[in-house]
Amino acid sequence: MAKSPKNSKMTPAQKAKAEADAKKVVARNRRATHDYFIEDKLEVGLVLTGTEVKALRMGRASLAEAWVEIYEGEAWLRQANIPEYLQGTWNNHAPTRKRKILMHKDQILKWQQNSQAKGYTIVPLELYFINGRAKLLIGLGRGKQQWDKRQALREAQDKREAQREIQRFAKGHR
């Protein structure tokens, strides 16, 4: 087999570009899919300070308590925890400050109308870097009832058990 010319050799510059283009996840809100049915998703940008970006590049962030609010025609990320940058100076950022979300006006209006319906909220799902820029994946979530959560856990457990049986059966018949 002959190697394709694309994959044979990459220059260091090409390798650096490929790494920068890759999606590097900093934080995921796994609790969101447990507490909400996610009906719509949107990738948005964030307004961050320099020390926040450096802390994110170190992989330090939490979206567990975060939510998105739309106030006076602007979208804001609230209670997202980006710890202080360790090598920062006196002008370090506050860890849980509100951060502006970059969205088009028509997107803001659409998401505001959707989130005002009963039982709906906008939740952050993922915080990641793509092409060297910090992005946030937000979702329109409809709250789950307690029985919905139990049913989802039961379905996941049944799926895991079925997968284990398939693997055990396949190992026995090799």
Q: pLDDT: is 113 or 143 the higher one?
A: 113
Q: Are 135 and 170 in the same domain?
A: no
Q: Are 84 and 150 in the same domain?
A: no
What residues contact 160, with CB distance under 8 A and at least 6 apart? none
Q: Are 126 and 162 in the same domain?
A: no
Q: Are 138 and 151 in the same domain?
A: no
Band of residue 3 on the pLDDT scale cut at 50, 70, 90: very low
Q: Are 139 and 150 in the same domain?
A: no
DSSP the chain: -PPPHHHH---HHHHHHHHHHS-EEEEE-HHHHHHEEEEEEEEEEE---HHHHHHHHTT--B-TT-EEEEETTEEEEES-B-PPPTT--TTPPPTT--EEEE--HHHHHHHHHHHTSTTEEEEEEEEEEETTEEEEEEEEEEEPPHHHHHHHHHHHHHHHHHHHHHHHHHHHT-
Band of residue 6 on the pLDDT scale cut at 50, 70, 90: low
Q: Are 121 and 64 in the same domain?
A: yes
pLDDT at 126 over 50: yes
Q: Are 131 and 162 in the same domain?
A: no
Beta-strand relationship, 133-143 and 120-130: antiparallel
Mean per-residue pLDDT over the chain, rounded: 82
9 within a domain of the structure (yes/no): no
* Residue range 3-22: mean pLDDT, rounded: 67
Q: Are 135 and 155 in the same domain?
A: no
Q: Are 118 and 39 in the same domain?
A: yes
